[in-house]
Chain A
């Protein structure tokens, strides 16, 4: 097909020109803001310029790429070249947790933090060799699409949707939360309002154009986020070591940190008990949990629907494989720089804060101290005087900052680096724009994954084929469930004039339904599908914002849960469906239920019903990785009046601190996935082998050549 190839080439060239021009334009914009700064424009305005300019560009791309075609909406017309899909996946992948949180985790945990770096990169190997290209050949719109077809029926499809919604919603809530944090920190907006500004950006990108719009905005967002992440640290590395490649020079910084750690202990500024040496392993996680996190994040990568669906958009199976390689390359650029951030910040803290006279603290930290993100001697380090007063209040304080006096919020590491390096504010604004791009792009991809599964799998594949009577009943029941859930779960006040969330949402729902009802009778089938997809997208987005504005804590743990859930629910069924012809419908259904069920049980019990877990499920306290002592005294905690409390806060003595085999609940996939495989294997052997057609179908997806298995006449 020479003509198609030539057309592709022209398309590719044009893309190169567009994004090349865009990158140039963005750099010109940075220079423009830098000039404004020299002219004395205040920082707040510069920050707003950055955020709104980038949001406007994403929205513009979103509007430009709007579509009314089903295959464009769900899989961007399957013509995204490998390299560009790689970039889009990179942005889809790297979230606020990667951009802002990871360097902070590496700062605090040292070597053990690298479990996240390894886990969030190595999984792409599994995507490419086990799952991704085969799903591309199958020609699905969503991951449950594949499960539904391979494991003949709507029950497997429905289970797939449940797994997808469970893991993606956990994940998207963390992203919207991250958007709020970045916007509120840099723009000084109230957190709840910032969540909504972020939400508006997300919706502008994805509402009108679905996957097509999300793809082209994600590429634009990748360019912003990678420039923003690398610029400050490249400058810092050049300042300190004269070489603009921080990934090479931070070895020197680590050597200095290690020397300084010994010196601090020798000077009595820190003790061997409270200082975690940067390069010594297994002080934060036990070896089991360290390797467990690596394994769960890797396998989770190959099971997360919003990542897998990115490979549905390439023109061919071959390009799907190349695209996975490009994805990891673009992700790698950020991930192998994150430890450099951690090392440079740590060196700064160890040499210029700890051991210093309290009166001569470096001024860069006061902006963060004011926000409560850096504390010295137990008080916010908002000014020199505040620090001096706080330390004086401690009896026998030596007057120099000790290791134990200093507390830093992990989000600050990346955000404060421009100031540590003494760079102008324009660079800080750039970092904020980058963090926002990271959070928005991931949230876009996740929301689209959820809305697509609901509109395509539930509405189009399961509800439309029903006879009209049954159809109305099902729609009515779902509607009642949604209204009930909104009323029951969201009584809190929203940021809009303090009206309760539930009334706001129900009112919105009524308006949307009214508008849809006006157009519904006149719409074609295709238009109806896309209307449903958009309405659902809007609602999932608002529900995520409502959940995020309640400030669920600890983003990293929530993201970890999402991976474990995806891994336990999807991975065994996907891999067995492709690699073992003999796996049957009954086997897969039982496997998903068992694996996902066990994982979610472990997660929910250890987090929300720890007393129940100890009393009835034989759970014991997790152990301290260094000393091996239990984290909580179970007997004492069980004697407390609140021991059996359900849904306790994180302050509860048992929450997240109990389990089986000393296994952290982030790693619940480690229990669920093997069980899933085992159950699929055993139950499949007990049931009749799949039909000859199904086996031929499996042969078909194993060969790149030929038509996709699931062809749909849609346009």
Chain B
């Protein structure tokens, strides 16, 4: 049994979306925190958080939550466009 062209296209787009989100995840999970000392030089005005600390305590967390809601929407759009989404 061969995978249909539509299914292949669907999976290609799904994979691309996965890699995009994995890259963003890696950036917020690791890359930003490698520069914590440099970022700590900057202080967020009014709130007075050092930026490096803030990113680990709140910034990255907010990014993860937003990412997940966006991902659910994007993947659903891909599924619908290829006719493989579930009925509402």
Contacts and interface: CB of A to CB of B under 8 A. Distances in A.
Contacts of B69: 322, 325
B64 A111 contact: no
B42 interface: no
A111 B10 contact: no
Contacts of A705: 79, 83-87
A555 B39 CA distance: 32
A123 to B, nearest CB: 9
B53 A328 contact: no
A272 to B, nearest CB: 17
**Which size class do A's interface residues fall under?**
35 or more
Contact of A125 (B21, B34, B85): B21
Contact of A122 (B25, B36, B48): B25
A254 B87 contact: no
- Which of the listed residues B47, B50, B61 has the most CB atoms from chain A within 10 Å of its own CB? B61
B81 to A, nearest CB: 13
B68 A703 contact: no
B22 to A, nearest CB: 7
Given A122-B64, A251-B44, A321-B72, A336 B52 contact: no
A248 interface: yes
B84 A321 contact: no
A705 B87 CA distance: 8
A interface, over-half SS: helix
A368 interface: no
B48 A704 contact: no
B66 to A, nearest CB: 9
Interface in B2-56: 3, 7, 10-11, 14-15, 17-18, 21-22, 25, 28-30, 33-34, 36-37, 40, 43-44, 47-50, 52-54, 56
B28 A128 contact: no
B87 A1 contact: yes
Contacts of B71: 125, 128-129, 321, 325
A699 B30 contact: no
Interface string A687-715: 00000110110010011110000000000
A77 interface: no
Contact of B64 (A121, A254, A702): A121
Nearest to A282: B36
B84 A254 contact: no
A692 B1 contact: yes
A318 B85 contact: yes
Contacts of B49: 251, 254
Contact of A704 (B47, B62, B85): B85
B88 A5 contact: yes
Given A117-B56, A122-B28, A298-B29, A279 B68 contact: no
A704 B25 contact: no
A163 interface: no
A251 B50 CA distance: 8
A128 B36 contact: no
A332 B56 contact: no
A590 interface: no
A447 B37 CA distance: 42
Contacts of B79: 318, 703-705
Contacts of A133: 75
A695 B11 CA distance: 14
Nearest to B3: A699
B29 A247 contact: no
Contacts of A295: 29-30
Contacts of B48: 251-252, 254-255
A138 to B, nearest CB: 14
A129 B22 contact: yes
B29 A279 contact: no
Contact of A111 (B11, B25, B53, B62): B53
Contact of B53 (A122, A128, A279): A279
B72 to A, nearest CB: 4
Nearest to B14: A702
Interface in A335-351: 335-336, 339
B31 to A, nearest CB: 10
Contacts of B61: 117-118, 121, 332, 335-336
Contacts of B44: 251
B69 to A, nearest CB: 5
Contacts of B67: 125
A324 B75 CA distance: 13
B68 A124 contact: yes
Contacts of B28: 122
A692 B7 CA distance: 16
Given A287-B34, A294-B33, A322-B69, 14 more contacts: A5-B88, A125-B25, A125-B67, A128-B71, A251-B48, A254-B50, A279-B53, A317-B86, A324-B68, A328-B68, A335-B61, A336-B58, A695-B3, A705-B85
19 contacts: A1-B87, A124-B64, A125-B64, A130-B18, A247-B58, A254-B49, A254-B50, A254-B53, A255-B43, A255-B48, A280-B40, A325-B71, A328-B65, A332-B62, A336-B57, A703-B7, A704-B79, A705-B79, A705-B87
6 nearest CB pairs, A to B: A325-B68, A251-B49, A321-B72, A251-B47, A703-B84, A114-B56
